[in-house]
Amino acid sequence: MNKIPFKGVIAYPVTPFDDSETADILLFKKQVERLVTNGSHGIAPLGSTGVMPYLNDSEKEAITEATMQQLAGRVPTLVGVSNLTTDKTMYHAKFAEKAGATAVMIIPMSYWKLTDEEIIKHYDAVTSKISIPIMAYNNPITGGVDMSPSLLKRLLEIPNVTMIKESSGDIQRMHYLRKGLGEEVAFFNGSNPLALAAFSAGARGWCTAAPNLIPELNLALYNAIQENNLGKAQSLFYKQFALLKFIVAKGLAGSIKAGLDLLGVGGGGFKSPLKPLSENEIVELDSILSSIESEVYQY
């Protein structure tokens, strides 16, 4: 088993819905194919972008299986299996492993704020049921709990937990991870507007939905960092900054679907209560995408 099977740009597909608000697997496969064709280094279905918590079990399973079929091992996969209860998290983790996932991503979802002990037992329980690696995901805004660096350190002592995804949006957290947990810790950035700062701080990869819309710029930023060319990375980052801000401010799922519609790919429908962007927001997104395109062609 490769304990840290990811690096670079890990792309997050959306989950498109049909008119009856059920996951549209055909369109999903098409969107996933685009992501891998465009050069993403990994694919992560059932993330926040994929509105995982809004899906029922059969939708989650269909999305997982569709991802494996479509990719057929071309790039590694990271499947979201988080759930409020430990029991359901174990269930989905086992399903993902059996379906062929390279790794699973788990955020400790919370309605009631969990204690550190509760979080550790939660990961421990899931670990006992699978043998693929786990990426522990910290996102106080969607998950409702903020895992401190010292808690993350304890999680990394659980054998399968080998990677951390940080989405708190605070660059200091990454400095702590690197300095406090050691240089070999594999941490990934999940905050789009932090892409430049996180790579500068030593992030191993970038978990992002942006490759649905601007894959060349996302990959070029990573490549510039690999080449140790900060000036080029900075320039590439500012070219995509307006889009990265927009998709976070307006919500990843809605923004990416609107962008896929604008690009002619088709984003698919929504599951209530989630709704599409407003007309004005779509116009703003169109303008951002157009100005990126004209700038990049010049470049």
Binding site for a copy of itself (CB under 8 A): 21, 48, 51, 53-54, 84-87, 108, 111-115, 117-119, 121-122, 125, 141-142, 144, 169, 171-172, 175, 178-179, 193-194, 196-197, 200-202, 225, 228-231, 233-234, 238, 241-242, 251, 253, 271-275
Nearest to 28 by CA among 64, 3, 75: 64
3-class state of residue 135 by DSSP: strand
State which residue, 68 or 123, has the beta carbon closest to a copy of itself: 123
CB of 241 to a copy of itself, least distance (A): 5
Q: Would you call 171 helix, strand, or coil by DSSP?
A: helix
CB of 122 to a copy of itself, least distance (A): 4
Instruction: Write the CA distances from 197 to 30, 136, 207, 237, 249, integer angstroms.
Output: 32, 21, 14, 10, 19
Q: What is the 3-state secondary structure (H, E, C) of 85-121?
A: CHHHHHHHHHHHHHHCCCEEEECCCCCCCCCHHHHHH
Q: For a copy of itself, which is the closer residue by CB, 38 or 142?
A: 142
> What are the backbone dihedrals phi and psi of residue 100, each rounded to the nearest 5 degrees, phi first?
110, 15
**110 close to 145: Cβ distance less than 8 angstroms:** yes
Q: 76 or 237: whose CB is closer to a copy of itself?
A: 237
In the Cβ-directed half-sphere of 157, how many Cα atoms lie within 13 Å? 7
125 versus 263: smaller Cβ distance to a copy of itself: 125
**Minimum CB distance to a copy of itself smaller for 225 or for 258:** 225
Q: How far is the CB of 276 from a copy of itself (least distance, A)?
A: 10
- Three-state secondary-structure class, residue 175: helix
CB of 72 to a copy of itself, least distance (A): 30
Indicate the residue type of 136.
A
Integer Cα distance of 136 and 251 in angstroms: 22
Shortest spacing between CB 274 and a copy of itself, in angstroms: 6
Q: Which is nearer to a copy of itself, 71 or 81 (CB)?
A: 81
